[in-house]
Amino acid sequence: MTSAAKAIAYKWDDVELEQMSGTITRRFVHSDDLMIAQITLPKGNLVPAHRHHNEQVTYMITGALRFLFGEDQDEEVVVRAGEVLFIPSNLLHSAEALEDTFELDVFNPPRQDWIDGSDAYLRSK
């Protein structure tokens, strides 16, 4: 018996580019189980503290982000080009772009708040 599942190819340039808070932009595609996003954060942009049940993998392509973790935001990790960061479910985290940054985020499961546009923490202008 063969599966009815089909591979799907996307061109990033054909995926909607969303303007988020500050000058952050993102694009994402997802399946039922996985999401990948391209995110651009010009230097100085901030991602406010938030948490989500989704596991997250961040792959830094260019630039650098300073992440703060924990309830007191007192654990700092700087991730630079060529490095990968794993963020477990429900860990409070925030980020600041130390340089002009381009990165990929992978989420499991997909971020429903991104899909339905209820991610207010990233949309405040």
The domain in which residue 68 lies consists of 33-119
In a domain, 49, yes or no: yes
Q: What pLDDT score was predicted for residue 123?
A: 85
* Short-list 91, 53, 98, CA closest to 72: 91
In a domain, 13, yes or no: no
Q: What pLDDT score was predicted for residue 74?
A: 97
Strand-pairing partners, residue 69, are 75, 93
Q: What pLDDT score was predicted for residue 46?
A: 96
In a domain, 59, yes or no: yes
Which pLDDT tens digit goes with each residue over 53-99? 999 999 999 999 999 999 999 999 999 999 999 999 999 999 999 99
In a domain, 27, yes or no: no
In a domain, 86, yes or no: yes
| Predicted model pTM | 0.92
Beta strands in the chain (DSSP E): 18-19, 25-30, 35-41, 46-50, 55-62, 64-69, 75-80, 84-87, 93-97, 101-108
Predicted confidence band of residue 124 (pLDDT cuts 50, 70, 90)? confident
Q: What pLDDT score was predicted for residue 45?
A: 97
Mean pLDDT calculated for residue range 11-25: 96
Check if the beta carbon of residue 5 is closer than 8 Å to that of residue 66. no
In a domain, 101, yes or no: yes
- Could you give the angle at the alpha carbon of 23 between the alpha carbons of 101 and 41, nearest 5°? 15
Q: Is the pLDDT of residue 9 over 70?
A: yes
In a domain, 103, yes or no: yes
| Number of domains, the chain | 1
Domain at 110, CATH number: 2.60.120.10
Which pLDDT tens digit goes with each residue over 46-63? 999 999 999 999 999 999
In a domain, 105, yes or no: yes
Cα(59)–Cα(2) distance, integer angstroms: 34
Mean pLDDT calculated for residue range 19-26: 95
